Amino acid sequence: MMENSRKGVIHLIYYTADLHLGHVNVIRHCDRPFVSVEEMDETLIHNWNSRVHKNDTVYIVGDLFFRNRCPCESYLDELKGRKHLVIGNHDSSWMKKTNWPGYFESVNGLITMKDNGRLVTMCHYPMMTWPDSRHDSYMVFGHIHNSTSAGFWPLIRANPRMLNAGVDINGFVLVTLEEMIQNNERFKEAHPTTSGNEEEPEGEDL
């Protein structure tokens, strides 16, 4: 949380990941509650802008778009906030076709920053160890959507400082760090580990 002392306005920090705006197949793959990609896009954009003010900070932890038919600029022009992109595996394709430097404050593969005094490392891919992981810092990631059947899940579930920023477990809204902590606690409690060793679902179609 950051305070603008000139106006006395508190600017918030929000996190999100794996929106996959414009991607039809993600609805089926992740069992999203939308009947069409148009409904999904409209809902995600509405949810974003209903929380974020123009000077709030937004960290997108990968996979903002995938296989979208509408130009990325048409989405980015609508999305409020000072946006920082942590590059995901599906971002390179749309970035090649988009004038993205005008829309993001920063673009990186990995970021470490402080949120209200708490150290946060962000990478699209879940990391079992990360900078300052021994000092009560958080690892914020995306990529796995709502998958809990692959071999990585027991490790992630057992670590309360590994936080999934993906929209699929955060109610399809952008969240603060505290909200993300609470959402991950509930999700992990509701999804105990299993004996399955399925591969993670993140493939070409997702």
**Amino acid at position 39, single letter:** E
pLDDT at 8: 59
pLDDT at 202: 47
pLDDT at 10: 80
pLDDT at 134: 78
* Alpha carbon distances (Å) from 27 to 10, 22, 39, 188, 189: 35, 10, 10, 22, 24
pLDDT at 128: 93
10-residue stretch averages of pLDDT, the chain, 206 residues long: 52 97 97 98 98 97 96 97 98 94 96 96 96 89 96 96 98 98 98 62 52
The pTM for the full model equals 0.91
Helix (H) or strand (E) holding 84: strand 82-86
CATH code of the domain occupying 2-190: 3.60.21.10
Please count the other Cβ atoms lying within 10 Å of the Cβ belonging to residue 103.
16
Contact call for residues 83 and 163 (beta carbons, < 8 A): no
Domain residue limits, the chain: 2-190
